[in-house]
Amino acid sequence: MGKGRLAFAALALALAMPAGAADLLFKASFDESAEGPYNEYDAARFLTQATFGPTLGEIQRLQQIGYNAWLNEQVAMAPTLHTPYLDFRDGLGEDVYQQVRQEAWFMRAVTAPDQLRQRVAFALSEVLVVSDQNSAVDDAFALANYYDLLLQRGLGNYRQLLREVTLHAVMGNYLSMRGNQKENVTENIRPDENYAREIMQLFSIGLVMLDANGQPVLSGGQPVPTYTQATIRGFARVFTGWNWSGCTANEYEWCYPDDTHQVWWRQPMVPFAAFHETGSKQLLNYTGVSLAGGLLPANTGANAATADLDAALDNIFNHPNVGPFVAKRLIERLVSSNPSPAYVGRVAAKFANNGSGVRGDLAAVVRQVLMDPEARKRASAPANAGKLREPLLRITQLWRGMDARSGDNRYREGWPDYYGGQAALRAPTVFNFFLPSYSLPGEIAAAGLVSPEFQIATDTFITRMSNEIAGKVYWFWRGNPELSAEDVTVDLARDMSLANTPSKLLDRYDLLFMAGAMSAPMRQILLDDLNQIDLSGGDDARRERIQDALWLMLNSPEYVVEK
């Protein structure tokens, strides 16, 4: 789109908008869009990383307002939460189990306006993992509430996010911090080390010391551990004395929310002084640590549990690993499995200081992840940049790109793990669906690359994903008389006129699904297929061209590896 057309489009849009929005739009269009996107392909590529998939409308709009204005809008936008939807269905007297939570997830992913927030929350849900596969937390409302926390704090400060995650009843039950109590030698009780271990290994600093670019620090050729068993014991002692909001000291060891106290699942855990370890605790010790030697002194004060918790979270949060650790996790989920150290370093620097002296500002971190030259310019990225698309993201991209909806606006997609090995908050363990360090044996491992998403690309799931996308394209299309109002359908009618000219059809899908990166040989293979479908077949033939174009593209090597 040329500059003149862009300005005209912005003007036309502005005229149709409220005054405040128009100001914003003009400011964005004429003052801030110098950073791009410079064409629709750049816009689509950005939206693939920052949302659950580009739509024609959002591509156009991003081109009009530019990256910065788009990001500002998204960061300012209120979260579209999941729990209210479960409450709504519950209020209708329906049974609400995990499938309704998955429905809420798909509905938000496909339709919510706060796409950046939704996408980042999903990324965080694969780092700060809880799962309905653990029966201690298999309450759908509780898990939705945990997801809402990720939505509400995902673009806030990591310190606050970490605190609220730590005290969430779901996490408390998932990693057995709730009900944890101080050492009692006579009864042979020792503080549970589960949460102490995972908050360090998986949520904040990892196992080995990292430099500012996320590379392991070596000493004598060996990586340097971030903590010892003594540190784990120290944190285990910190995380004692917390329980359900409605618990009492007398009931500490057995309180549990019955049907009339389900709200406990949605309230942060609260401290119980009698069960909190008041002695000193060995915490992390690192250069620049504020506690001398990383040792938290004994505290017998009335608020010791809370004070210890905050001191311990500060101790973790200020560890130099947190920035590069979080940077890597977010880059992996949004942009690329194998970022250059410099890219990690630039994002980590934003974590350390958002430009205003604030540490842990996730909005600034996410902005850097997305606006970094290595994310924005293919030419700036290493040759191996990119990632295997996650199964859930393949589904949402199809549905957003093809305006999928059902007759009653519901998204009954309760068991995507059946075909993709993945569903929101349904990882098999706290180690997520796949490990960040997973490296597919063979060429990828030999090259020293990691390929996390390949870990769930098993024979079964490769087959089922191919078939699932086929079902969603060849069968679940709007207007298929065999379907019911409950079925989620893609809108093929929109593209029927393009189907008369296969190259135009491919142009559109190349934009929506591959950000214009389809190679000439791949295009030719698809054209050869589509041209064999004789248009004398009328609408059926046009539809088949669309369906073939979609299915072949969405299952092609060039597509499934997002670059």
Gap between the Cα atoms of 127 and 202, Å rounded: 7
Give the contacts of 521 (CB within 8 A, at least 6 positions apart): none
Of 143, 127, 82, 131, whose CA–CA distance to 266 is shortest?
Answer: 143
Question: What residues from 25 to 84 belong to the interface with other proteins (CB under 8 A)?
Answer: none
Length of the chain: 563
Angle (deg, nearest 10), helices 304-317 and 158-167: 140
For other proteins, which residue of 184, 222, 409, 503 counts as binding (CB under 8 A)? 222
Gap between the Cα atoms of 336 and 123, Å rounded: 13
Question: What residues from 124 to 153 belong to the interface with other proteins (CB under 8 A)?
Answer: 133-136, 138
Using the minimum distance from each CB to other proteins, give the nearer residue, 349 or 517: 517
Using the minimum distance from each CB to other proteins, give the nearer residue, 311 or 515: 515
How many positions of this chain bind other proteins (CB under 8 A)? 75
Gap between the Cα atoms of 109 and 287, Å rounded: 42
For other proteins, which residue of 26, 41, 97, 431 counts as binding (CB under 8 A)? 431
Of 469, 501, 494, 500, whose CA–CA distance to 479 is shortest?
Answer: 494
* Closest distance to other proteins from the beta carbon of 469 (Å): 9
Q: Is 103 in the site for other proteins (CB under 8 A)?
A: no
For other proteins, which residue of 262, 280, 409, 458 counts as binding (CB under 8 A)? 458
For other proteins, which residue of 65, 170, 457, 499 counts as binding (CB under 8 A)? 457
Q: Is 218 in the site for other proteins (CB under 8 A)?
A: yes
Q: Is 224 in the site for other proteins (CB under 8 A)?
A: yes
Only one of the segments 30-38, 88-96, 244-252, 462-470 lies at the binding site for other proteins (rule: CB under 8 A); that segment is 462-470
Question: What residues from 533 to 552 belong to the interface with other proteins (CB under 8 A)?
Answer: 533, 548, 551-552
Q: If 0-12 CB within 10 Å is exposed, 13-18 middle and 19+ buried, where does residue 367 land?
A: buried
Q: Is 225 in the site for other proteins (CB under 8 A)?
A: yes
Q: Is 99 in the site for other proteins (CB under 8 A)?
A: no
Residues in contact with other proteins, shown as a per-residue x/- string from 516 to 535 under the rule CB under 8 A? -----xx--xx-xx--xx--
For other proteins, which residue of 87, 90, 491, 558 counts as binding (CB under 8 A)? 558
Q: Is 200 in the site for other proteins (CB under 8 A)?
A: no
DSSP 389-404: PPHHHHHHHHHHHTT-
Question: What residues from 156 to 175 belong to the interface with other proteins (CB under 8 A)?
Answer: none
Residue 297 DSSP code: P
Using the minimum distance from each CB to other proteins, give the nearer residue, 327 or 522: 522
Angle (deg, nearest 10), helices 459-470 and 391-401: 10
Neighbour-count burial for 199-231, b at 16+ CB within 10 Å, e otherwise: bbbbbbbbeebbbebbeeeeeeeeeeebbeeeb
Using the minimum distance from each CB to other proteins, give the nearer residue, 226 or 368: 226
Q: Is 91 in the site for other proteins (CB under 8 A)?
A: no
The two structure tokens encoding residue 427? 């990882």
For other proteins, which residue of 56, 462, 496, 541 counts as binding (CB under 8 A)? 462
Question: What residues from 361 to 380 belong to the interface with other proteins (CB under 8 A)?
Answer: none
Gap between the Cα atoms of 203 and 284, Å rounded: 15
Using the minimum distance from each CB to other proteins, give the nearer residue, 322 or 456: 456
Gap between the Cα atoms of 31 and 429, Å rounded: 47
* Closest distance to other proteins from the beta carbon of 36 (Å): 24
Only one of the segments 53-61, 110-118, 240-248, 457-465 lies at the binding site for other proteins (rule: CB under 8 A); that segment is 457-465
Of 231, 308, 313, whose CA–CA distance to 273 is shortest?
Answer: 308
Of 284, 287, 292, whose CA–CA distance to 314 is shortest?
Answer: 284
Gap between the Cα atoms of 207 and 227, Å rounded: 7
Q: Is 459 in the site for other proteins (CB under 8 A)?
A: yes
For other proteins, which residue of 16, 19, 92, 446 counts as binding (CB under 8 A)? 446
563: how many CB neighbours lie within 10 A of its CB?
Answer: 16
Residues in contact with other proteins, shown as a per-residue x/- string from 305 to 344 under the rule CB under 8 A? --------------------------------x-------
Residue 28 contacts residue 53 (beta carbons within 8 Å): no
Q: Is 212 in the site for other proteins (CB under 8 A)?
A: no
